[in-house]
Chains A and B, each alone.
Chain A
Amino acid sequence: MKSSKETIPQLFEAALSGERRSLGKLLTLVERGGETADDVAGLAHRKAGNTHVIGITGAPGSGKSTLTGRLLELFSQTGHNSAVLAVDPSSPLTGGAILGDRIRMDDLTDENSFIRSMATRGHSGGLALAVPAAIQLFDAVGYKPVIIETVGVGQVEVDVAGAADTTVVVVTPGMGDAVQANKAGLLEVADIFVVNKSDRPGANDARRDLDLMLDLGHISGLEEKTGYRPPIIMANSLEGTGSQEIIEAIENHANHLKSSGSIKVRQDQRTLMEIQNRVELLIGTTAKETLSTEFGKAMINAVLNRETSPAQAAKSIVNSLLND
């Protein structure tokens, strides 16, 4: 295993002073999980709380990486240092992954931005901890905004995207993306819609579909409460059109979060979710360990011999954990 000669506090100090390599190493530790990751996340947590988290999600080929690149350029031009965490699925068979779409940028943007690719590594529990920890690291080091880019399929991705302050859902014309996004539950978490490749036939249909679904109340009910309705922006990430509007929409949404007080609700929600995820993971791990103890084996045998039911056995195991 790769060892780093520096201690975690040393790496953290170096990262704070702007050394990319140290931040890169810390992200690896966070991703690997376990006690070390918790230590890093603990350090970061104390310094975090200043960034704005943007989730960008869309199907493969929706052009969301190109779009992210455009946003980075614009952020960079206005003096922002932004970070991107690009989450891609690992192969369930081999655990390997091809992470890509590191966006090509101009020199200035290169200087002002930090891009990190992260594989899901087959366990949603790990990702649910690694992503918030990575966000806090970026936050602590001073990146603002932090962009989380995910492929908009599957619960994990929706959860990750939904945990952002502002969630941007990217759809493309003609592929039934809007309908798919609805099915995946993305409409409920979207704060901004982008119809990318707006020069393609069917772009206006996609816009109309989204409008209709919003009318039918597929959103979380925030509109009635707060008067915020997710805007639909037509964009062409290859040519860069629409990017400025997206930035403005993000700013509008951020202002709305502040003025309505929802920002606190969201951030509390995110903290709550992180604690909950950690609890579940801890209980899950301990429960698995219990299954291989004498007591656990006895419970399994009792179920196999039909002396007790699986439900009863599970309750007994949980009770034994809680009483420890």
Chain B
Amino acid sequence: MGTEESSNGNPQEMWQLEYNKAKLRDIPFETMSGVPVDPVYGDDLFPGQYPYTRGIYPSMYRSRLWTMRMFAGFGTAEDTNLRFKELLRNGGTGLSTAFDMPTLMGRDSDSEWSLGEVGRAGVAIDTLSDMEDLFADIDLSKVSTSMTINGPAATLLAMYVAVAEQNNVAPDELAGTIQNDILKEYQAQKEYIYPPRPSMRIITDMVKYTTNEMPKWHPISISGYHIREAGSTAAQELAFTLANGFAYVEAAIAAGQNVDDFGRRLSFFFNSHSDFFEEIGKFRAARRIWARWMKERYGATDERAMFCRFHTQTAGVSLTAQQPEINIARVGIQALAAALGGTQSLHTDSFDEALALPTEDAARIALRTQQIVAHETGVANVADPLGGAPYVEWMTDEMERQAEAIFAHLEEIGDGSILEGTFAGIENGYFVGEIADAAYRFEREVNAGRRIIVGVNDFTEGDNPEDRNLLRIGAETEEYQLKRLEDIKSQRNQDQVDAALRVIAEVASDATRNLMPAIIDAVKTYATEEEISAAMESVFGTYVERAIV
């Protein structure tokens, strides 16, 4: 970079040209005291310029603030549908769906595994009928929907496509994201169904299907969030996440996809924890590493395929059950780090999440917290305001150095392939072992008092457990959902269901065929999520983790 001149002029002039084209928000870009400020400071690298350390867009938040995307889902599909419609009435355009644990694991509400979990941590979906209720009276051609699901992602995507079709919305009109990042499930979140290799096959089928039929859909959101929540360090979060990204790219290239077509539609999801500068360094390093690898190693030429676009959520694991109100301050600081790190969207956690699912009041305070960061602090006026500070640049380099060391290890155990290295690391317990080591080291430091957690191992006065108002979800949801499922099962045409499930098993055993059309056909017969999972399990088997501590 630096002072290198090109025929188009120096970096600053090139940036200025791009900046001038951007549409800006209609607010004064000045301090609270009325001092006008520039869109960016510094004189070598500018935002929007490769390798995008300073941000992926030339005008960053001056054009558009990050999206304040709050995750919602609870109880039955009808309950969540009411919340969605409320959100849309208030001007929202993005729906973000949380599913309950049985749905995330490919289990139906009437499975013996589901006892006590139905509708608790998110919405329960068993059949297409639930999906119809979830999106009733919502124009799917006008909204963007994010679905946080991985193991059975193909089934949920198929249901979404089928609901849209019922309402005469074609797949190519559907916009949204499905998390579908199975690799981190084996590493951290543990919501897997099949072994890693067949899971990769399903993802590759989904990528092909969405590339051809759903150009506005993001088929994978590569997530470090859960890796960090499971106890990793910031650098491990960064490295494991990007390595998973490289693995998907390698798998897609091997399946004949074009790296630019595929790379453009990838996005990321990071954690924002409490060590302010480490987090900011991590976000900046993520953009730089991704751009370099995509361009230099995988040969991307479209700069959008080099962009590390990411969603951020504040660190749930940092929230304390003791004096929960002080979590509001933690969330505020973490949200600020995400904004200074240049995130594209942000979910702020509710202060009561260490105790239970958030109440509506707590969720409102969380949203207000990021609104304060966006509208009151002035940090959105200037792109990468900390760029150039010696500590921040050092931290960015350090994060990159640590991540590269991890990539080198994965390449070694994968014989030069990150994809194979990732499979090997899952198989030999490398990821879970590294994460558990880091989690234990942190816990020992807290325990020895070498690391202070306010309210936990110091400053403990003022905790009032009796004042708490927690969200409780009753057993009615489970009963209601079980009844619904029973009705659907008795009303559907069982022969059609059986036939559709047989086709899924057939297609699953033939790697040259795409599973998506077969799954879409099956959901239309009101085959349940678990029946579809079981049909694939009959061919792919199930994954059982070695219990490594």
B: interface residue count bin: 10 to 19
For residue B170, give the distance in angstroms from its CB to the closest CB of chain A. 40
Q: A238-B195, A238-B427 are in contact. Are A66 and B549 (CB under 8 A)?
A: no
For residue A100, give the distance in angstroms from its CB to the closest CB of chain B. 5
For residue A203, give the distance in angstroms from its CB to the closest CB of chain B. 12
Q: What A residues does B429 contact at CB under 8 A?
A: 61
For residue A54, give the distance in angstroms from its CB to the closest CB of chain B. 21
Q: A61-B428, A238-B427 are in contact. Are A100 and B548 (CB under 8 A)?
A: yes
- A66 and B549 CA atoms in complex are apart in Å by 16
Check A98 for interface membership: any CB of B closer than 8 A.
Answer: yes
Check A227 for interface membership: any CB of B closer than 8 A.
Answer: no
Q: Are A101 and B546 in contact (CB under 8 A)?
A: yes
Q: What A residues does B428 contact at CB under 8 A?
A: 61
Q: What A residues does B424 contact at CB under 8 A?
A: 200
For residue B393, give the distance in angstroms from its CB to the closest CB of chain A. 39
Q: What B residues does A101 contact at CB under 8 A?
A: 546-547
Q: What A residues does B548 contact at CB under 8 A?
A: 100
Which of B415, B427, B544, B549 interacts with A201 by CB under 8 Å? B415
- A65 and B547 CA atoms in complex are apart in Å by 11
Closest residue of B by beta carbon distance from A100: B547
How many chain A residues touch B (Cβ–Cβ < 8 Å)? 12
Chain A interface helix/strand/loop/mixed: loop
Q: A197-B427, A201-B415, A238-B427 are in contact. Are A65 and B195 (CB under 8 A)?
A: no
- A56 and B407 CA atoms in complex are apart in Å by 34
- A201 and B195 CA atoms in complex are apart in Å by 20
- A201 and B412 CA atoms in complex are apart in Å by 12
Binary contact readout A39-67 vs B (1 if CB under 8 angstroms, 0 otherwise): 00000000000000000000001000110
For residue A70, give the distance in angstroms from its CB to the closest CB of chain B. 12
Check A20 for interface membership: any CB of B closer than 8 A.
Answer: no
Closest residue of A by beta carbon distance from B416: A201
- A61 and B546 CA atoms in complex are apart in Å by 10
Check A104 for interface membership: any CB of B closer than 8 A.
Answer: yes
Q: What B residues does A102 contact at CB under 8 A?
A: 547
- A238 and B428 CA atoms in complex are apart in Å by 11
Closest residue of A by beta carbon distance from B544: A104
Q: Are A98 and B415 in contact (CB under 8 A)?
A: no
Q: What B residues does A65 contact at CB under 8 A?
A: 546
Binary contact readout B512-549 vs A (1 if CB under 8 angstroms, 0 otherwise): 00000000000000000000000000000000101111
Q: What A residues does B549 contact at CB under 8 A?
A: 98, 100
Binary contact readout A159-202 vs B (1 if CB under 8 angstroms, 0 otherwise): 00000000000000000000000000000000000000100110
- A71 and B195 CA atoms in complex are apart in Å by 20
Closest residue of A by beta carbon distance from B429: A61
List which B386-429 residues lie within 8 A (CB) of chain A: 415, 424, 427-429
Q: Are A66 and B547 in contact (CB under 8 A)?
A: no
Q: Are A66 and B415 in contact (CB under 8 A)?
A: no
Closest residue of A by beta carbon distance from B545: A104
- A100 and B547 CA atoms in complex are apart in Å by 6
For residue B445, give the distance in angstroms from its CB to the closest CB of chain A. 19
For residue A306, give the distance in angstroms from its CB to the closest CB of chain B. 46
User: Which of A100, A101, A102, A238 has the most chain B CB atoms closer than 10 A to its own CB?
Assistant: A238
For residue A126, give the distance in angstroms from its CB to the closest CB of chain B. 24
- A66 and B548 CA atoms in complex are apart in Å by 13
B residues sitting closer than 8 Å to A (CB atoms) are: 195, 415, 424, 427-429, 544, 546-549
13 cross-chain CB contacts under 8 A: A61-B428, A61-B429, A65-B546, A66-B546, A98-B549, A100-B546, A100-B547, A100-B548, A100-B549, A101-B546, A101-B547, A197-B427, A238-B195
Q: A100-B549, A201-B415 are in contact. List 16 more A-B contacts (CB 8 A).
A: A61-B428, A61-B429, A65-B546, A66-B546, A98-B549, A100-B546, A100-B547, A100-B548, A101-B546, A101-B547, A102-B547, A104-B544, A197-B427, A200-B424, A238-B195, A238-B427
The 8 closest A-B pairs by CB, nearest first: A61-B428, A98-B549, A104-B544, A100-B547, A201-B415, A101-B546, A101-B547, A61-B429
